Structure 1
Amino acid sequence: MNLHQFRFLREAVRQNFNLTEAAKALFTSQPGVSKAIIELEEELGVDIFTRHGKRIRGLTEPGRAVLKSVEAIMREVDSLKRIGKEFAAQDSGSFTIATTHTQARYSLPKVVQAFSQKYPKVKLSLLQGNPKQIAEMVLNDQADLAIATEAIAEIDGLISLPCYQWEHLVVVPPEHPLLKAKPLTLEDIAAYPLITYDTAFAGRNKIDHAFALRSLKPEILLEAIDADVIKTYVELGMGVGIIAGMAFDAERDRNLRALPAGHLFGSNVSRVAMKNGAYLRGYVYTFIELLTPTLNRKLIESVMNGEKPVYEL
């Protein structure tokens, strides 16, 4: 039994049981992967995979238990590697953050700038996607951290902590009739075509839920994955926009006006998430502390070690 067998098994599952793709991902041969897995099954005395002829179809019941143990072992191996790297070089290395466009565009620039000034030798990378995609990036070790809204708190295998709260804004062109609505209501907004986020992004579920509670069915004219697109089409007069509060700047967005909508759609919480059992380099803790003053290394470690199971703002 060896680590190569464990790597081959894990990658075979990640590649949807396609051994050819698993071999490509690991830069080895397909027969080598197949042989290693068969040898592991023989040593354990159980079939890990269900097969149809020579094709692997899925995991057996004992196979699922084996995979769970293998994942835990490989997490520990990855952590050992990271420990070695950190002690070899405290202030250099690589650091990858998976996040949404809204976070990358509006919340992170100053944090990234401050971090880069503090750790100029660290290669920082930003990967973008929707909350489900960025969670998968962390789970598959493509990224160290995920930063998004509440959705990532529901992903098994991740530990997430709250960073900060924010509310939605309604954005309209100058002189729009909604600017005279006091107080602004859902009925007022629903009278116009709406331009807002795709259903996977930036608290869209709360927007839909608010309208549904009032039995309102607004016309969603356009869905987008980032606020810049939403604001562009609002400026053209095509509809009323609903965006994250962080995405509006009165100086920059001079052709638009913003109306607070927290009383209509509630508040949202941006969260930072890491893989359960992961080893974080020292500068990753520093980045989180720069991101939000509510978190520090001691608190983060206590949550990751299970000493403090719940922490909310």
Structure 2
Amino acid sequence: MNLHQFRFVQEAVRRNLNLTETAKALYTSQPGISKAILELEEELGVDIFVRHGKRLRRVTEPGQEVLKAIEVILREVGNLKRIGEEFSKQDAGTLSIATTHTQARYLLPEPVAQLRLKYPKVNVSLHQGTPEQVAQMLVEETADIGVATESLAGYSELVTLPCYEWQHVIVVPAHHPLAQMERPTLEQLAAEPLVSYHPSFTGRKKVDAAFERARLKPRVVLEAIDSDVIKTYVRLGLGVGILAEMAVRDPVADADLVWRPAGHLFGQNVSRVAFKRGAYLRNFVYAFAELVSDRLSRALIARAMAGDPEEQDFGL
């Protein structure tokens, strides 16, 4: 048996047992993949897949156990490569970050700049996507570290740690009646057209849940994933904005807007960092996590990666 066979089996499962797509993804031939998988099954003495003709239909029960073992083997092979890179290149390489637009725009610029000063030979690759895409990039090891508010804690393949808390804010032009209110109510917001995030981004589910509990039906006239886009439409009078508080911290750029904290309405949100469980983390990955939040340390992350349940959530 060999690593090529393991990769063929793993990728076939990722591609929903479509060997044509598997061959394209691995830049090889479909007959070659079929032959390699059959040879592995013959060597193991079990069928990994149930077949109908030449088509793979499902993974067998022993195949499920084989897949788990393959996952461990290929993960450790990846770790060996990263260890080699760590000690051969020292503090050089690429830090791959998966995150959402809000984190990339408002949280990460300063930590990235500080990392580049500390590790000038490290390049940064920033991947933006939905929270689900962030999680998937970590699972597939496209990214070393992920930062998001939603979804990350729901993946057993990931180790997640809280890094900071934040609340939503209500944003209006200075002339809007709500600008005179220190603590707007849900009833007042439900009477206004609203401009906010897409339901899968930046704590929007908590906003919807608050209105639902109050038995109110808000009128969301525009949804976006970009905080700056939301602010633009608020300026145009399209509606009252509900944004993350880190999106309104620039007193110069946002001088024409008035914002009010809305934690009393929608509660607190927790943004988290995440890593692939069992992955080998290079020195600059630990360093970057520490720059993202002073609540994170190399020792704490290492304990969490080792499976210490008490390190999964430290008081948040």
Cα deviation digits, residues 263-287 of structure 1 (max 9, x gap): 1101111100000100001110000
Contact 1:41 1:48 in 2 (8 A): yes
| Corresponding residue for residue 49 of structure 1 | 49
Shift of 1:139: 0.4
Contact 1:150 1:268 in 2 (8 A): no
Amino acid of the structure 1 residue aligned with 2:50:
T
Q: Distance in 2 between matches of 1:247 and 1:104?
A: 11
Contact 2:182 2:260 in 1 (8 A): no
Shift of 1:308: 4.4
| Corresponding residue for residue 244 of structure 2 | 244
Amino acid of the structure 2 residue aligned with 1:95:
L
Q: Distance in 2 between matches of 1:179 and 1:255?
A: 11
The 3-state SS of whatever aligns with 2:28 is coil
TM-score (norm 1): 0.97
Amino acid of the structure 2 residue aligned with 1:264:
L
Q: Distance in 1 between matches of 2:102 and 2:172?
A: 19
| Corresponding residue for residue 120 of structure 1 | 120
Shift of 1:65: 1.6
Shift of 1:51: 2.0
Contact 1:194 1:221 in 2 (8 A): yes
Q: Distance in 2 between matches of 1:154 and 1:3?
A: 30
| Corresponding residue for residue 311 of structure 1 | 313
The 3-state SS of whatever aligns with 1:211 is helix
| Structure 1 unaligned blocks of 5 or more | none
Residue 193 (structure 1) aligned with residue 193 (structure 2): yes
The list of structure 1 runs, each at least 4 consecutive aligned residues, that deviate by more than 6 angstroms after superposition, is none
Q: Please give the residue correspondences for 1:153-172 in structure 2 after superposition, counting only pairs within 5 Å.
A: 153-172=153-172
| Corresponding residue for residue 209 of structure 1 | 209
Aligned residue pairs: how many? Answer: 313
Q: Distance in 2 between matches of 1:179 and 1:229?
A: 20
Q: Distance in 1 between matches of 2:14 and 2:262?
A: 42
Contact 1:181 1:188 in 2 (8 A): no
Q: Distance in 1 between matches of 2:183 and 2:222?
A: 25
Q: Distance in 2 between matches of 1:216 and 1:71?
A: 47
Shift of 1:12: 1.1
Structure 1 residues 228 and 182: CA distance shift in structure 2, 3 A: closer
Q: Please give the residue correspondences for 1:41-80 in structure 2 after superposition, counting only pairs within 5 Å.
A: 41-80=41-80
| Structure 2 unaligned blocks of 5 or more | none
| Corresponding residue for residue 300 of structure 1 | 301
| Corresponding residue for residue 222 of structure 2 | 222
Contact 2:171 2:234 in 1 (8 A): yes
Q: Distance in 2 between matches of 1:250 and 1:135?
A: 33
Using the aligned pairs only, state the percent identity: 60
Shift of 1:45: 1.8
Q: Distance in 1 between matches of 2:198 and 2:52?
A: 40
Q: Distance in 1 between matches of 2:61 and 2:91?
A: 44
Shift of 1:177: 0.8
Amino acid of the structure 1 residue aligned with 2:60:
T
Contact 1:96 1:127 in 2 (8 A): yes
Q: Distance in 2 between matches of 1:30 and 1:235?
A: 55
